[in-house]
Amino acid sequence: MTEAIGAVEADRALKSKHRKMWALGDYAAVAAQLIPSLGPLLVEACGVRAGTRVLDIAAGTGNAAIPAAATGAEVVAVDLTPELFEAGRRLAAERGAAVDWREGDAEALPFDDATFDTVLSCVGIMFAPHHQAAADELVRVCRPGGTVGVLSWTPEGFIGELFATMKPYAPAPPPGAQPPPLWGRGDHVRELLGDRVTDLDVWTGTLHVDRFVEPTQFRDFFKANYGPTIAVYRGLADDPTRTAALDNALDALAQRHLTASAGGMDWEYLVVTGRRVG
């Protein structure tokens, strides 16, 4: 009994930490300036259309929820970090898109079974620490015959390398927490979904990002705007030597990718879509 209570308290503390992390900086700027095309891409891959009921898990500022609503679908956007909703509501209003914003944990969604026709997540659910719990919820709230779709950064791509680069400078994750880029491996997602989802379509794509010309532009942008990067640097605030080492590591990462893709960076992602069995 005591162990169970301790596990619940530890999970609550972890989720609180995640919420605060994603509220840091300006994720709306990251979504709008770097990845605006990914949400519409996933919405199209899932075949979202007018009249369907859609859930966007770990929706952030609505990168997928807003284009889904623009099709005429009835869209609910759920996220652990409601601080992101203010920017999302503003963007939705500018697009004339109606989105229902709800606070909620991807691993314990506040919805009944089989509520939605389409359940999707664009570089969102991958950051839930317990992958199987999040995948179980994704499938649970989708109706039989409905569509599930997930777009995630791959371990081998730029964002996967970014997290690998920051890892030595960050606190060790708690037991049971899994690396986000695992969602960018097709075999991992297949295992998570199991036989509950059929007709899987699994493919990789590349996002060309031309926002940065010099490595320091990338580093400074992420240090100012991207919650996970900000959190790592805050943990190094009293250690200028390690801070400088992380600066150099991020610069080297950016330089490799800028050199490999003259005129910007190419960021690899994985898309998985399928049909809920039942």
Tell me how many domains the chain contains.
1
Count Cβ atoms within 10 A of the Cβ of residue 73 and give its class: 0-12 exposed, 13-18 middle, 19 or more buried.
Answer: buried
240 token code pair:
């200028």
Each residue's pLDDT expressed in tens, for the chain with a length of 278 residues: 565 555 678 888 899 999 999 999 999 999 999 999 999 999 999 999 999 999 999 999 999 999 999 999 999 999 999 999 999 999 999 999 999 999 999 999 999 999 999 999 999 999 999 999 999 999 999 999 999 999 999 999 999 999 999 999 999 999 999 999 999 999 999 999 999 999 999 999 999 999 999 999 999 999 999 999 999 999 999 999 999 999 999 999 999 999 887 789 999 999 999 999 98
Q: From the CA atom positions of the chain, what is the Rg in Å?
A: 18
In-domain check, residue 103: yes
- Token pair 């990789």 is at which residue? 204
Q: What integer pLDDT is reported at residue 3 of this predicted model?
A: 55
Of residues 127, 16, 106, 18, the one with CA closest to residue 55? 106
In-domain check, residue 220: no
Q: What integer pLDDT is reported at residue 6 of this predicted model?
A: 59
In-domain check, residue 47: yes
In-domain check, residue 138: yes
In-domain check, residue 191: yes
3-class SS string, 117-151 = EEEEEECCHHHCCCHHHHHHHHHHCEEEEEEEEEE
In-domain check, residue 258: no
How many Å apart are CA 43 and CA 39, to the nearest integer?
6
Are 266 and 208 contacting, i.e. CB atoms less than 8 angstroms apart? Answer: yes
Residues 6+ apart with CB under 8 A from 55: 75, 76, 78, 109, 111, 115, 116, 118, 119, 120, 141, 142
Q: What integer pLDDT is reported at residue 20 of this predicted model?
A: 96
232 φψ region: left (φ > 0), alpha (ψ -120 to 50), beta (else):
alpha
Of residues 150, 147, 151, the one with CA closest to residue 198? 147
CB atoms within 10 A of CB 89: 16
| CATH code, domain carrying 98 | 3.40.50.150
- Give the structural domain span for 198: 2-159+169-208+269-276
How many Å apart are CA 114 and CA 84, to the nearest integer?
26
CA torsion sign, 211 to 89 to 60 to 20? positive
- DSSP-derived pairing of the beta strands 197-209 and 265-276: antiparallel
What are 266's strand-pairing partners?
208
In-domain check, residue 164: no
Are 239 and 64 contacting, i.e. CB atoms less than 8 angstroms apart? Answer: no
The C-alpha angle 106, 109, 115, rounded to 5 degrees, equals: 125
In-domain check, residue 214: no
Count Cβ atoms within 10 A of the Cβ of residue 213 and give its class: 0-12 exposed, 13-18 middle, 19 or more buried.
Answer: exposed
